[in-house]
Structure 1
Amino acid sequence: NRAGSDTTARAQQAAARVTPGLQRDLAALGLQLGAPAFVRIFKRESELELWLGGKAGDYRLFRTYPICRYSGALGPKRREGDNQAPEGFYRVARGQLNPASRFHLAFNLGYPNAYERANGYTGDFLMVHGSCVSIGCYAMGDAAIEEIYTVVDAALRAGQPAFEVHAFPFRLDAAALAAEHASPWFDFWSGLKPGYDAFERTRRPPRIAVQDRRYRIDG
């Protein structure tokens, strides 16, 4: 399930199937295939949101897909073999797309990211993929991944260097986070909240950095 950069017949066939419907639905929202992409994942809600950049530079929600399955519980992935699906801020470039995945089509989130490396977390090749089985990944089912993969592939081909994926335990509004004050992950989730809030406020993915083993949000 390692990422490869070459387009295969499988990805081409998937694109041929889904592109007419995607173009129709995108046009209805004033969007187009090839626009910059942005992905948000919410574990508790089992939802993946696919956003696309509009002409003004802000992002608009195109579709919300149900996550077929993710493994583990709420909370970040910290070590190889813990079966946790990652939470955090990730960037996906062309080399992380895998059109030859044994789970139909996939892209590698890029775990461990800079924050996770700074904190000594281990593991690799954590994916968003098709099928409906998961060991540390987000399984979307084959029909959904064909649309998602086609959209993000088009964005990268059109010149977006990488698209952002923000993976959250749940929608991090103030009330939802406060309700989890007793969780061992409350501090970690509090560190994710500024990234969630920045996009909610601006509809543009914020700049993410890591400083002193913590996320720093600019934007």
Structure 2
Amino acid sequence: MALKRFTLVALVALSLGACEEDRYRGSARHHIPIPAATYALMSEKGMSKDQPILIRSYKKESELEVWKRKANGQYALLKTYPMCRWSGQLGPKVREGDRMAPEGFYAIAPAQMNPNSAYYVSFNMGYPNAFDRAHGRTGSHLMVHGACSSAGCYSMTDDQMGEIYALVREAHNGGQRTVQMQALPFRMTPENLAKHRLDSNIAFWKNLKEGTDYFDVTGDEPQVGVNGGRYVFNASNGDPAAVQAVQRKRQQDETQVAALVAKGTPAIKLIYDDGDQHGTFKRTLVASGSDTLNRAASWGSRDVGVSRPDALTVGPRVVVLDDRGKAKATIRAESADNEVVLAAVAAAGAEPPAKPEAAKTEPARAEAPR
């Protein structure tokens, strides 16, 4: 018992000192309040707890955003949360057991909220959605949850997840039937699109960008459908002014991508040992040394059994691609940050591809479907 308590304390320290009040654990977790500081932030930004929200998650940047609709009908950013853990690689979830966190447009209804989660509190993303089913993708119980551990989910600290859960709950209570979650590989910037232009998922990512462009330009939630194996947006709402504005943004972004490519921006593919987490958590993990890492690994294997803490001590491998999309060099970067990746590529020059690193094995263990 003393050892378990000690490992739990170590994980709390790893999560930047997060501490949940006991009265919001167990059967009372569905009553988790929105923190007073977040209420004050909403008031400052002209928002109320009952207004609709929208969630955006970004794997590469390891961040989750909560947006809230204001009185004028447009969404504004309420808060950005550093993500504590996601697993797998950039790209969509394809099959059960692949450890990939979903990418796409998902709808979170009240029935998908789980205050009794094994990972503090959670909500089901709704994977597979109509797009996933159209492509024959499999998997279940894909969540946003606490506990800072993931095997195909987006995981936050318990403090963060309690707050996000409360925000979604109050939006539902205010009349929002479903909360849209835009689960994205990265921020859809020209810089990211230029670097990942030869990735095998680029056509899918550009399809996602059609929906995020609409949100960025109009400040309104896109209506999402599926047709011909693609996401379609606002098929029943052809506002000519909005359509033209979105098209202008798309053309401007494409022009910037072309300019970046012309300046020599390399085409790359990022390969993670097993997902990533925001740099604030990683710096704490590395600074704490191997002893803390071992205790975190012990906690994960015994109590959650999904994440590999050892995979977080280094950044992703950066595969530099030639014009045909073939690997011509592989470099280890310290992080997935754009500047760090580009610096690693520039420092490596035209080195030949590195030999693949030996796969790290884990003891077999039962896991819930993902």
Q: Place the TM-score, normalised by the shorter chain, in its bin.
A: over 0.9
Instruction: Return the offset for 1:154.
Output: 0.2
**1:196 corresponds to:** 212
- Larger relative helix fraction: 2
4+ residue runs of structure 1 moved beyond 3 angstroms?
none
Q: 2:93 aligns with which of 61, 64, 77?
A: 77
Q: Distance in 1 between matches of 2:61 and 2:126?
A: 23
Structure 1 match to 2:46? 30
The one of the two structures with greater contact order (alpha-carbon pairs below 8 A, sep at least 6) is: 1
Partner of 2:107: 91
Distance 1:196 1:8 in 2: 37
Q: Distance in 1 between matches of 2:226 and 2:27?
A: 35
Deviation, 1:20, is 2.4
Q: How does 1:12-27 map to 2 (within 5 A)?
A: 12=31, 14-15=32-33, 18-27=34-43
Q: How far 1:66 moved relative to its partner?
A: 0.6
**Residue pairs, 1:1-219, within 5 angstroms:** 8-12=27-31, 14-15=32-33, 18-218=34-234
CA distance in 1, matches of 2:156, 2:149: 9
CA contact (8 A) 1:105 1:149 kept: yes
Structure 1: distance between partners of 2:39 and 2:198 = 45
| Percent of matched pairs sharing the same residue | 43
Instruction: Name the stretch that deviates more: 138-147 or 169-178.
Output: 169-178
One-letter identity of the residue aligned with 1:64? T
3-state secondary structure, aligned to 1:81: coil
How many residue pairs end up in the alignment?
210
Query: Aligned residue for 1:3?
Result: none
**Aligned equivalents of 1:43, 1:116: Cα separation in 2:** 19
Q: After alignment, is 24-33 or 104-113 more displaced?
A: 24-33
| 1:11 CA drift (Å) | 2.4
The 3-state SS of whatever aligns with 2:94 is coil
The CA deviation at 1:67 is 0.6
Change (3 A) 1:133 1:187: same
Q: Matched residue of 1:75: which SS?
A: coil
Q: Give the superposition deviation at 1:8.
A: 4.1
Shift of 1:42: 0.6
How far the C-alpha of 1:10 sits from its partner, in A, is: 1.5
- Amino acid of the structure 2 residue aligned with 1:33: K
- Report SS of the residue matched to 1:11: helix
Superimposed CA distance per residue, residues 172-213 of structure 1 (whole angstroms, 9 cap, x where no aligned partner)? 123321321211111111111101111110111111110011
Distance 1:8 1:32 in 2: 27
For structure 2, the residue ranges without an aligned partner over 5 or more in a row are 1-25, 238-370
Rounded to whole Å, the distance in 2 between the matches of 1:179 and 1:21 is: 38
Secondary structure, in 3 states, of the residue corresponding to 2:123? Answer: strand
TM-score of the aligned structures, taking structure 1 as reference length: 0.93
Larger Rg over CA atoms: 2
How much does 1:93 deviate? 0.3
- Say if 1:22 and 1:33, in contact at 8 Å, map to a contact too: no
**3-state DSSP class of the match of 1:76?**
coil
When the two structures are superposed, what TM-score results if normalisation uses the length of structure 2?
0.55
Equivalent position of 1:4 in the other structure: none
Q: Deviations over 1:22-75 (max 9, x none)?
A: 221211111111110100001100000001110011001000001100000100
